[in-house]
Amino acid sequence: MKIDHQIITQIITENAHVLDLGCGNGELLSLLTQKKNALVQGIELNDEEMQKCVENGLTVLQGDIESGLVDYPDQSFDYVILNQIMQEIKKADFVIQESLRVGKRVIVGFPNFAHIKARLTLLISGKTPINEALPYYWFETPNIRFLTIQDFIDYCRKKSINIEQQYFLGKANLVKFLPNLFALNALFVITRHDYDYKQR
């Protein structure tokens, strides 16, 4: 099991109602169904990935999350997942705000572009970094923005978004020392500043 999927599965509560934005082939949704008996739903733009979800019996809608989530009422999900897609979307702030509107909690996961190997590659070779978290050449990468752990923490502070939990991931373990330098990926659990904690 991928380490980010393992952590997300630990975060999600039993029988939770979950929406996964950019759910890919539905691997995480299937895991949450099996391990947490979660009521899962996904949104995916790619035809082939969506077909894989349908073949696995998952409820997945085809759509562009950057167009908004107008079909969903406020706080209609216990968790909204944005895992490994923040670096690939143009309207990042809009998508996060919409996710916070429809979800009581939002799980955001992304590769840390400030990882030490990425810094050293750029410094020494002068080339675009390629590593476990960023496995693409510049001419084929789906990434259009390059965020770091510190960038996301600063964003949450600026937007008055609560960070409830944070996990910094290496290849197979959690990173506890200087995560912005040594973590390959990050996972955050966030809520709106006006979220009523009595609803937990």
pLDDT in tens, 56-111: 899 999 999 998 898 899 999 999 999 999 988 999 999 999 999 999 999 999 99
Q: Which domain holds residue 50?
A: 3-111+146-192
* For range 128-148, the mean pLDDT: 76
Asked if the structure places residue 159 within a domain, the reply is: yes
Which of 31-35, 59-63, 123-127 shows the highest mean pLDDT? 31-35
pLDDT of residue 118: 85
Q: Is residue 118 part of a domain?
A: no
CA angle centred on 139, ends 181 and 126, rounded to 5° = 45
The answer to whether residue 127 sits within a structural domain is no
Domain count of the chain? 1
Render the burial of 25-38: b for 16+ CB within 10 Å, e for the rest.
bbbbbbbbbeebeb
Quick check: is 121 in a domain?
Answer: no
The answer as to whether 123 is a domain residue is no
CB 195 within 8 A of CB 123: no
Q: Is residue 16 part of a domain?
A: yes
Distance CA 177, CA 171 (A): 15
CATH number for the domain that contains residue 80: 3.40.50.150
User: Is residue 18 a part of any domain in this protein?
Assistant: yes
Mode of pairing for the β-strands spanning 162-169 and 185-191: antiparallel
What order of strands is seen across the sheet that includes strand 103-111? 60-62, 39-44, 17-21, 77-83, 103-111, 185-191, 162-169
Alpha helical stretches, state H, 12-135: 27-36, 47-55, 92-102, 116-125
| pLDDT average, residue stretch 129-138 | 72
The two tokens of residue 182 are 């040594």
Is the residue at 141 inside a domain?
Answer: no
